[in-house]
Structure 1
Amino acid sequence: MARACPGDSGIEVIAVGVGPALAAAGTASALTAAALRGEPYRLVVSAGIGGGFQPGAPLGSLVVADGIVAADLGAETEDGFVPVTELGFGTVRHQPPADLVRRVAEAAGARTGAVLTVSTVTGTAARAAALRERHPTALAEAMEGFGVAEAAAAQGVPVLEIRAISNPVGPRDRAAWRIPDALAALTEGFGKLTAVLEGWNRHDS
């Protein structure tokens, strides 16, 4: 889900779908349409639920990304995974505005750390450990943030990612998921940070 602040009209909610490709396409379409109307967005927020790396991001907690990272964009080699940047092209990380991250985290009572974007949800302890080894500051994984960030960056719009933790990153256990609790935490968190986002929209962007 992408949240954006066009002009001075407040906060708009747009569902962009599952996965980085669909999220990027939906976000790009919304940004382009708004720009053509003469009402460009000033901020894009990718918000939703995700997996949390334990014990840093317990179930029901909120995470605000200080880095939005494409965790599986690259190549597998005999020596392990190589990110696309080391192959000589592309990017694998977007940096949200540090001051906005701090203010949002304080307002919502959230933790800050990297949020990893993956195309395949982690389902084993081995993959969870490998991701943490490559990204030691990671607190969460989800499937849309990097796609949203790529679309926003292409049009020069700042981006933020917020995740409510519904399940641990690791062995897949649907019985352990707490999706209603995560959605409730996300709703409560946005209730606390609306003024921060609107203030950014009016003044800081």
Structure 2
Amino acid sequence: MLADRGIRVDHTTLFRWIQAYAPELENCIRLHLRPTNGSWRVDETYIRVKGKWVYLYRAVEAAGQTTDFLLSPKRNAAAARRFFGKALKQPHTVNPRAITVDKNAACPIATNAMKLERTLWRFAKVLQVKFLNDIVEQDHRRIKWLVWPGLGFKSFVTATRTIAGYEVMAIIRNGQAVSAPANDMGAQRDFIDTLFCATA
């Protein structure tokens, strides 16, 4: 985009911009997102960080909109609880009536514990139906296409911030922001400008 405008920017400058501004954008955007519905599809995918595999937990609603995401060094019940806890704290999410997960046993363990402590609605159903999770598995491809050319991340912090940038920009492009329709790039640009003006 910058090259089209005749502006030369080194790739390390872009990297520094992402590391500085992606977390800010993720924090600011939450209040401006459309509410999600109560049917979540949850899955995790693998990302290589410093030569090791880490896990990107992601949830999309039945309509395909991103609910939330979390990068975790481990794939266990504690990580699943952290992910669900983070997702439930967002202002645009509702306590789900149904959560569809894969065959990973950690998610049902995490949701049962959260029901007992009343952070998750006690009538929420946890389903393990593979074909219902196709929507989130297909959505992983978008992240993979962006991560693969980079040949892996050098640190967990760098990976977390970069993936936050990927996810937030996809959320905006999908039209999840109330004032930035999916097919209106001008409105999306103005929306991002407004967010950064509000935090300046």
TM-score, normalized by the shorter chain, greater than 0.5: no
Give TM-score, length-normalised by structure 1. Answer: 0.29
Name the TM-score, length of structure 2 as normaliser: 0.29
Q: Which has more strand, going by share of residues?
A: 1
Greater share of helix? 2
Which has more radius of gyration? 2
Structure number with the bigger relative contact order (C-alpha 8 A, sep ≥ 6) is 1
